[in-house]
Amino acid sequence: MKPITMERVENTRQEILDTIKSATLTHEQKVCTLAGKADSLLEVLDLPEGLSELLDQPIETQCICDLFEGHAPMRPRYIIPDYEKFMKEGSKFLQLDPPQDIYEAINSLLIFYKHVPSITNFPVYVGALDKLLDPYLKDVDDETAKKLLKLFLIHVDRTILDSFSHANLGPEPTRAGRLILEVERELEQAVPNITLKYDPEITDDDFAIEAVKTSLKSAKPSFANHKMFTSELGEDYVIASCYNGLKLGGGSYTLCRMILGNIAKRAKDLKDFKENQLPYVMDIMARYMDARIKFEVEESGFFENNFLAKEGFIHRDRFTAMFGMVGMAECVNILMEKEGKAGRYGHNKEADALGVEIMEQIKAFNDAHTNPYCEVTGGHFLLHAQVGIASDLKVSPGTRIPIGEEPEELLEHLRHCSLFHKYFPSGTGDIFPIDTTAHKNPEFILDIVKGAFKEDLRYLSFYASDSDVIRITGYLVKRSEIEKLRSGQAVLQDTTALGLGATDNGKVQQRRIR
Amino acid sequence: MNNRLDAVTAPVNKIIRFSSVDGPGNRTAIFLQGCNFDCRYCHNPETRRFCIGCGKCVKTCPAGALSQTPEGQVRFDPAKCVSCDTCIKVCEHDASPRICEMTAEDVMKEVRWQQPYIRGITVSGGECSLHPRFLKELFEIAQKEALTCFLDSNGSYDFSKDPELMAVTDSVMLDIKAFSPEDHLNTTGAGNKTVLANAKYLAEIGKLFEIRTVVAPDLFDVTETVRCAGEMLLPYLQKGAKIRYKLITYRPMGVREKYRNMRIPTEEEMMGLKMLLTDMGWDDVVIT
């Protein structure tokens, strides 16, 4: 372990005291923050030369960001337990036999969730709830089933205090799926995030329309292109955290992101960007991720000692890592300006073509880089369009068109998305607030989803422009909770603070309404 | 080229690529110019008649998108248009200088652009049924391309006499603007014998998607209209037809100045009309 300066120790001590005295953090949020402060004093990773100059920078110049993963990763960032196996076999460590009825099933899941770690300390994946629960619902009538599901989902919302927690539904319609959609429509809660795996050949229109109706009431589920994800990751993929496609029984060791706009700022011109700056940053980020993964696998002891691995709910060789990027819009606009051209990203063919060219370069780099512990994805990382963090200023998520510059016609917006979604098997997505007083026609939304998935869009989210639960970037927050926090009151879920930041810095409440 | 000269054209006022309010799902709505009714509450009166070449809009266009030929014909340059609608606001003849004469194939080119996002097309107006040959040609192509074809009509055209058009039309959204002939005349300047016959004919052949009534209590007996129209179509519902009744709240937006001061019905009145229909046995009643 490398030594650090006393100045850094003193600064951290002050931050620890500030955390302890905070008026707006809940007890759990304080404990979590304090753990992060302790971890920040360690220096155990074998870091690539040049990293610090790209990483330890303010948001105006930072080129690589590790999204608060800390200095000594003690568990993978995203963990995707095989809940089906747990329901079939129970768990020795948790002293639970396989559940025999719906009451035991719900109880078992709620217990299990409290033992699934992640970057947020809450499970980022809570299972394919329809498939997990449907078999147990056959003995109860709809009314009892709804009551139980309601209690279950309220429990999840009030104890998994972070909306990077994701449930999956579909693609097959089920009674459990229908009831969950109905209940979520009534509850209007932020947690869990939900995705409907949608394939028009498997998911019938009735079920999909129920999903649209629920999304216009509670900002979820989102729609994932099941055919596309299956072709890349296989049938056993899941959607976790914001919208991340990952393997069941595996997950992602790490997610780091390049801030492309700031890399463009370093470049003299387009040629310098493509030949020098971008390759330099990609190389350092990939080697940084390699170092993180090496520590997790070879030194942290997680895969040897955690019950999830020991009992086979996860497997080390089903993990991969996510090679992320943000700020494509800013990157393209800066490079166009440096080339003396007027076109802007999202509005000009040449600018959009430049974006595609940059994606091809990132993809080619990733296809050439290998990591020995990413066997499940061919030895490569998966590209990820990161959705941004609360402190991002003038950094647009992934490849999204900046808020305020969206094309006037929804069709043009979707066509732009279709240029980029295909590059990101581990996740990307676009969000559309819908004016539900104008569009009293859920089939209208479903037709758009169907068309979009034929045009290679991967992931779409909708919410009613006047709804309390809204999608911030990839996660959900209640507007009413943001206002509580703004007025200085503590709030239950840690993602509310992120929503407040994104509202002020990222203008997420000013998206163009469709 | 010869084909083009032979092809039927229609005056197109506007094409909306994605519409959620012109029939089921997402549709491209095509608005044709010209109407044979004169509804007092018409909220897009600029679709009613044709340009007479007075030139008033040319002088007021802030974008320089309009010009006039020496013969007085107004020319429109879509590339310069900023869609501010000044031209239609200043027009004193219920017309628009932005009309394009288009063939069915011209329209289909615009429609194909938003494939695969739409499930069909709806032709509206003005009054679309003033152009039956154009509609037939358009719908024949559209149906071959797996798009459903809807008409939005005031019902003045006797659909039962045009089986060829009906063969390529999936369904019709029909206005019943008032039930009694006097009320209809007072509201639209025209009679409604054909309208009511159309409603029954379309319901009979299973091609009546929706009945619409703009509820403007100053103009006609709204309760009587809704009750009588509802009762007239009830037998078809009982035989299993799926028909929606859309009750549209009169609002002054876009309405010509001399008719702009009519009373807006209250929410309670609208709910009352809906109740009237649901009590009668209508299960799909929508208020907008």
Distances (CA, A) of B224 to B86, B177, B214, B230, B277: 39, 12, 13, 10, 12
Residue of A437, A446, A447 to mutate, interface with B, max B Cβ within 10 Å:
A447
pLDDT greater than 60 at residue A4: yes
Q: How many CB pairs under 8 A join A and B?
A: 48
- How far away is chain A from the Cα of B248, in angstroms, using its nearest Cα? 13
CB A387 within 8 A of CB A398: yes
What does the pLDDT average to over A107-128?
A: 96
Tell me the C-alpha distance between A476 and A403, whole Å. 17
pLDDT in tens, A359-383: 999 999 999 999 999 999 999 999 9
Backbone angles phi, psi at A162, to 5 degrees: -165, 125
Using an 8 Å Cβ cutoff, are B195 and B211 in contact? Answer: no
pLDDT tens digits, residue range A446-505?
Answer: 999 999 999 999 999 999 988 999 988 888 999 999 999 998 888 888 889 888 888 888
The pLDDT assigned to A448 comes to 97
Residue B117 and residue A441: Cβ atoms within 8 Å?
A: no
Q: Does B175 share its domain with B209?
A: yes
Do B125 and B146 lie in one domain? The reply is: yes
Q: Report ipTM (2 d.p.).
A: 0.90
Pairwise CA distance, residues B32 & B84, whole Å: 20
What is the full per-residue pLDDT of chain B (288 aa) written as tens digits?
A: 344 556 799 999 999 999 999 999 999 999 999 999 999 999 989 999 999 999 999 999 999 999 999 988 899 888 899 989 999 889 988 899 999 999 999 999 999 999 999 999 999 989 999 999 999 999 999 999 999 999 999 999 999 999 999 999 999 999 999 999 999 999 999 999 999 999 999 999 999 999 999 999 999 999 999 999 999 999 999 999 999 999 999 999 989 988 988 999 999 999 999 999 999 999 999 999
Q: Are A428 and A421 a contacting pair, CB within 8 Å?
A: yes
Q: Which of A444, A453, A454, A512 is best to mutate for the B interface (most B CBs within 10 A)?
A: A444
Q: Are A459 and A194 within 8 A, CB to CB?
A: no
Instruction: For chain A, say whether B20 makes contact (Cβ under 8 Å).
Output: yes
d(CA B171, CA B173): 7
Q: How far apart are alpha carbons B152 and B168 in whole angstroms?
A: 14
Query: Smallest Cα–Cα separation from A443: which of B121, B288, B118?
Result: B118
Report, as an integer, the average pLDDT of A350-355: 98
Residues B283, B219 share a domain:
yes
Contact assessment for residue A66 and residue A256, using Cβ atoms and an 8 Å cutoff: yes
How far apart are the CA of B163 and the nearest CA of chain A, in angstroms?
Answer: 30
Please report the pLDDT score of residue A505 as a whole number: 85
CB contact under 8 A, B114 and A411: yes
CATH number where B68 lies: 3.30.70.20
Q: Does B18 touch chain A (CB under 8 A)?
A: yes
B76 and B200 share one domain: no
Note whether B67 and B151 are same-domain residues. Answer: no
Looking at residue B5, its pLDDT comes to: 55
**B177 plus B85 within the same structural domain:** no
B170 and B73 co-located in one domain: no
Distance of CA A480 to CAs A130, A190, A212, A467, A475, Å?
29, 11, 23, 10, 15
CB contact under 8 A, A443 and B26: yes
CB B152 within 8 A of CB B202: no
Q: How far is A441 from chain B (nearest CA, A)?
A: 6
> How far is the alpha carbon of A427 from chain B, nearest alpha carbon, in Å?
23
Tell me, what's the pLDDT at B26? 96
pLDDT for the residue numbered A282 = 98
Alpha-carbon span A283 to A130, nearest angstrom = 42
Determine the average pLDDT of the residues in A241-254: 97
Q: List beta partners, residue B210.
A: B173, B244
Pairing status of strand B74-76 against strand B171-175 = unpaired
The rounded distance, in Å, linking the Cα atoms of B39 and B61 is 28
Sign of CA dihedral A35, A41, A43, A47: positive
Q: Is the pLDDT of residue A279 over 70?
A: yes
- Please check whether residues B196 and B262 belong to one and the same domain: yes
Query: Which of B25, B116, B288 lies closest to A443 in CB terms?
Result: B25
**Residue B176 contacts residue B229 (beta carbons within 8 Å):** yes
H/E stretch holding A462 reads strand A459-464
B21 and B82 share one domain: no
Residue B6 confidence (pLDDT)? 67
Interface contact B9, partner A, CB < 8 A:
no
DSSP bridge partners of B66: B76
Number of domains, chain B = 2
The residue of B16, B17, B18, B267 whose CB has the most chain A CBs within 10 angstroms, and thus the best one to mutate to test that interface, is: B18
Looking at residue A507, its pLDDT comes to 86
Domain holding B80, by residue range, is 56-90
Task: Assign residue B123 the CATH number of its domain.
Answer: 3.20.20.70
The token pair at A348 is: 């000009």
With 0-12 CB in 10 A as exposed, 13-18 as middle and 19+ as buried, what is A120?
Answer: buried
Number of CB atoms found within 10 A of residue A294's CB: 17
Q: What is the mean pLDDT of chain A?
A: 95
Q: How far is A339 from B189, CA to CA, in rounded Å?
A: 63
Residues B43 and B68 in one domain: no
Q: Which sign does the torsion angle of CA A273, A277, A281, A284 carry? A: positive
Q: Does B147 touch chain A (CB under 8 A)?
A: no
Give me the sign of the Cα torsion angle A110, A112, A118, A121: positive
A338: nearest Cα among A266, A414, A244: A266
| pLDDT recorded at residue B258 | 87
Q: Where are the beta strands (DSSP E) in chain B?
A: 9-19, 27-32, 66-68, 74-76, 100-103, 120-124, 148-153, 171-175, 208-215, 244-249, 285-287
Instruction: Based on the fold, state whether residues B80 and B201 are members of the same structural domain.
Output: no
Q: Are B45 and B72 members of one domain?
A: no
- DSSP state for residue A277 in the 8-state scheme: I
